[in-house]
Amino acid sequence: MKKFLIHCLIICFASSYVTSCTYNDINKKVDCSISDLSLSLVGKSDATSCKSIDGQITMSASGGITPYDFSLGDGVYQTNPVFDRLAPGSYLITVKDVNGCKRSVQVEIGAANSTLAAATSATPDTDCFAGNGSIAVSPSGGTGPYLIKIDNGSFASPSSFANLESGNHTIIIKDAADCQRVVIVSVPHGSTGVSYANDITPIFVAACNFSGCHGAGTTGRDWTKFTDVKIDALDIKARTGNRSMPIGTGPFLTPQQIQLIACWVDDGALEN
């Protein structure tokens, strides 16, 4: 998932461009960290051979707010909790509820008569604009030598991959017998060091902090106050990213400004 595609909140502009921000008010906040949403494995079927794509995973969710949507890796969300036609590998399954809260579980699909496996490790991505995360892969079992590819790349013989953005990456290991194993590896988001005082506040001052929008004295939505911004941080990220704000004819936020907001929010929306 690429950073410039991250969903964000769009910021209200000067009164010369908009007359009111009331229809774009912030929605009620949900603290997903205290949600009782959970995801569990109901059952799975391993692939019948190392070259087969007939594995299956069935999941179940509870808690949170129904209905639920499920995804495999970074795939499209679906209401069906069953995933089939799977090759041998390690799959990340995610559930999302109506509030947007998410929970994930890693599920292994084996293969009959194959010992091919792989251990992986990842280092965080700490660059706001260009990924600098990495993944190391250590194949084992099966029949060496091994070939490895990442995402949409080609098979080669590297044991590590660099300059990766945070998010899920699909690793495929292939041995000399042409057996394959899929591993979905998540590169963590590390602190990018984006500053609220130096990077984010100037964006809000130029684009948001006006009477009728998010200026001083706006009850609950005063973005001259860090406490209000902190509460709205996730919505600000979402709506700047999807360009639902700022409303009106502009000026609009640049991709760089949108990305700075996203990185600051992902860093924890710190008062730094």
| 259 domain-assigned | yes
Residue partners of 33: CB distance under 8 A and separation at least 6: none
How large is the greatest C-alpha to C-alpha distance in the chain, in angstroms? Answer: 70
Cis peptide bond N-terminal to 139, omega within 30: no
| 73 domain-assigned | no
The number of residues in the chain equals: 272
| 111 domain-assigned | no
| 55 domain-assigned | no
List the one residue out of 178, 182, 195, 96 whose CA is nearest residue 142: 178
| 201 domain-assigned | yes
Structure confidence by residue, pLDDT tens digits, 184-227: 999 999 999 999 999 999 998 888 777 667 777 677 678 888 99
For residue 94, what pLDDT is reported?
A: 96
Q: State the Cα torsion 37-40-42-48 to the nearest 10°.
A: 140
For residue 225, what pLDDT is reported?
A: 87
Separation between Cα atoms, residue 127 and residue 154, nearest integer Å: 25
**What pTM value is reported for the model?**
0.74
| 18 domain-assigned | yes
Torsion sign over Cα 211, 215, 218, 221: positive
Domains in the chain: how many in total? 1
DSSP helix/strand/coil, 96:
strand
| 230 domain-assigned | yes
Residue 123: its H or E element: strand 117-123
| 133 domain-assigned | no
Structure confidence by residue, pLDDT tens digits, 222-254: 888 899 899 889 889 998 999 887 766 556 899
Angle, CA 249 vertex, CA 223 and CA 256 arms, to 5°: 60
Q: What letter does residue 109 receive in the DSSP assignment?
A: E
Residue partners of 266: CB distance under 8 A and separation at least 6: 166, 189, 192, 237
Separation between Cα atoms, residue 157 and residue 176, nearest integer Å: 12
For residue 17, what pLDDT is reported?
A: 38
Give me the residues of the chain with pLDDT under 70, please: 1-29, 211-212, 217, 220, 247-251
Whole domain around residue 202: which residue ranges? 3-30+194-266
For residue 205, what pLDDT is reported?
A: 86
| The two three-digit tokens of residue 11, written as one number | 């910021």
